[in-house]
């Protein structure tokens, strides 16, 4: 009899599972770019109306994401050009997976910047693509020359650019991303997971540049729990992608919530503005501390380099604050931690620990 371990792919058996933090009660969770706020909790009326919408959702019927009206609502709220087709995913994680599947011919290559979102490489390996990672510069800016050279050498079928980049928070120059889109013969996904916190977007180019797919998610703006991402791109790409999107990949409760959210986009924008102001306040607080370097951020997190990242991580943990220890995941992230922007009192708690450690 064949052992199951012989049946299951050796490369998968050699992987390690994505670690989702399981936190004790009372911890401040600033490791995963979640919003500190339930999006509707500040308004009893909104909470009630949302509850009514959920109660009315036809959960006995299969969802029909295409006919749900969500795509149209997204189009209106985010000014997605008429030329672009939209795909909905169960989180943008699913869209990353599906776009990878779409191009994963034997021998095909995926290119991404390093360090960046770990799921790009993970999907390349899962679907048997070659993976080329091009290192960023020391200040986390794009090494455009190296990227263009790698595109020339490897002719990637798929390029991922996280704009702004996770886990560094830095936004690349728009002209650099434009140069990547122009140089690549394959699909370029501009992953705007943090687009709501950024000063720039490629959404207005979706459907205009044939090989561009702009990917977004509602996860970082208060809806990580409903798992909805979307991608906008040319019909040439998106009509093919549509063939491999599972027909019922979104659920009725999430669809109802997302549509409700789009009808109250002003409330969500208000929270986003508040978090952006908090980001700048934290950066201001960190700027005066000479022993650390905080990188300017276009996202809802701040990456800092400190004298001893393990010490900071552990000290924060002793103070019941969880952040992401980046140190050890990539040479460019030496002694770095990534801190999600939280509510003011949470951010104050982080700043207090950091000041105690490093303000001399």
Ligand X SMILES: *Cc1c(COP(=O)(O)O)cnc(C)c1O
Q: Which residues bind ligand X (CB under 6 A)?
A: 33, 91-93, 117, 162, 166, 191, 193, 217, 219, 224, 229
Least distance from C-beta 288 to ligand X, angstroms?
Answer: 29
Q: Could you give the dihedral angle defined by the CA atoms of residues 163, 102, 148 and 135, in that order, rounded to the nearest 10 degrees? A: 60
49-56 contacts, C-beta under 8 A, 24 or more apart: 49/260, 50/257, 50/260, 53/256, 53/257, 53/259, 53/260, 54/253, 54/256, 54/257, 56/256
Least distance from C-beta 219 to ligand X, angstroms?
Answer: 3
Q: Give the distance from CA 276 to its chain's centroid.
A: 16
Query: Smaller CB distance to ligand X: residue 336 or 357?
Result: 336
Query: Smaller CB distance to ligand X: residue 194 or 358?
Result: 194
Least distance from C-beta 98 to ligand X, angstroms?
Answer: 12
Query: Smaller CB distance to ligand X: residue 109 or 162?
Result: 162
Query: Smaller CB distance to ligand X: residue 209 or 224?
Result: 224
Q: Which residues lie closer than 8 Å to 140 by C-beta, 6 or more apart?
A: 165, 168, 169, 170, 295, 303, 332
- Cα dihedral sign for 91, 93, 99, 101? negative
Least distance from C-beta 60 to ligand X, angstroms?
Answer: 27
Query: Smaller CB distance to ligand X: residue 225 or 307?
Result: 225
Check: CB of residue 211 under 8 Å from CB of residue 237. yes
Query: Smaller CB distance to ligand X: residue 218 or 353?
Result: 218
Least distance from C-beta 177 to ligand X, angstroms?
Answer: 14
Least distance from C-beta 231 to ligand X, angstroms?
Answer: 11
Query: Smaller CB distance to ligand X: residue 238 or 289?
Result: 238
Report phi then psi at 311, rounded to 5: -60, -45
Query: Smaller CB distance to ligand X: residue 192 or 289?
Result: 192
Distance of alpha carbon 17 from alpha carbon 13, whole angstroms? 10
Distances in whole angstroms, Cα of residue 321 to Cα of each of 283, 288, 328, 341, 354: 18, 22, 20, 12, 12
Least distance from C-beta 318 to ligand X, angstroms?
Answer: 27
Distance of alpha carbon 245 from alpha carbon 134, whole angstroms? 29
283-292 contacts, C-beta under 8 A, 24 or more apart: 285/351, 285/355, 286/351, 286/354, 288/359, 289/354, 289/355, 289/358, 289/359, 290/360, 291/358, 291/359, 291/360, 292/354, 292/358
Output the residue with the shortest Cβ distance to ligand X.
91
Least distance from C-beta 214 to ligand X, angstroms?
Answer: 12
């Amino acid at each position: 009899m064949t052992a199951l371990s012989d049946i299951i792919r050796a490369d998968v058996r050699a992987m390690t599972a994505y670690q989702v933090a399981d936190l004790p009660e009372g911890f401040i969770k600033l490791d995963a770019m979640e919003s500190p706020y339930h999006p509707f909790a500040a308004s009893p009326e909104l909470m009630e109306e949302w509850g009514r919408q959920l109660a009315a959702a036809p959960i006995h019927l299969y969802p029909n994401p295409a006919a749900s009206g969500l795509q149209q609502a997204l189009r209106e709220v985010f000014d997605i050009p008429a030329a672009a087709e939209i795909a909905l995913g169960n989180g943008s994680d699913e869209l990353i997976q599906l776009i990878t599947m779409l191009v994963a011919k034997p021998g095909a290559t995926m290119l991404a910047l390093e360090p960046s979102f770990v799921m790009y490489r993970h999907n390349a390996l899962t679907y048997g693509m070659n993976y080329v990672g091009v290192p960023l510069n020391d200040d986390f800016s794009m090494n455009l020359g190296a990227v263009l050279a790698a595109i020339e050498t490897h002719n990637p079928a798929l390029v991922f650019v996280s704009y702004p980049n996770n886990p560094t928070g830095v936004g690349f120059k728009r002209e650099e991303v434009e140069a990547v889109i122009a140089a690549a013969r394959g699909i370029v996904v501009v992953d705007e997971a943090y687009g709501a916190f950024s000063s720039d977007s490629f959404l207005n180019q979706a459907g205009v540049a044939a090989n561009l797919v702009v990917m977004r998610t509602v996860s970082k703006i208060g809806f990580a729990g409903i798992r909805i991402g979307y991608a906008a791109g040319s019909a040439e790409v998106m009509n093919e992608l549509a063939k491999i999107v599972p027909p019922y990949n979104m659920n009725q409760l999430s669809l109802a919530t997302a549509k409700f959210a789009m009808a109250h986009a002003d409330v969500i924008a208000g929270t986003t503005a508040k978090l952006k102001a908090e980001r700048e306040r934290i950066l201001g607080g960190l700027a005066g501390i000479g022993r650390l370097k905080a990188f300017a951020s276009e996202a809802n997190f701040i990456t800092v380099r400190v004298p001893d990242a393990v010490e900071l991580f552990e000290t924060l943990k002793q103070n019941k604050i969880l952040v992401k220890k980046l140190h050890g995941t990539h040479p460019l992230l030496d002694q770095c931690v990534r801190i999600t922007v939280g509510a003011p009192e949470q951010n104050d708690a982080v700043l207090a620990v950091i000041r105690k450690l490093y303000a001399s």
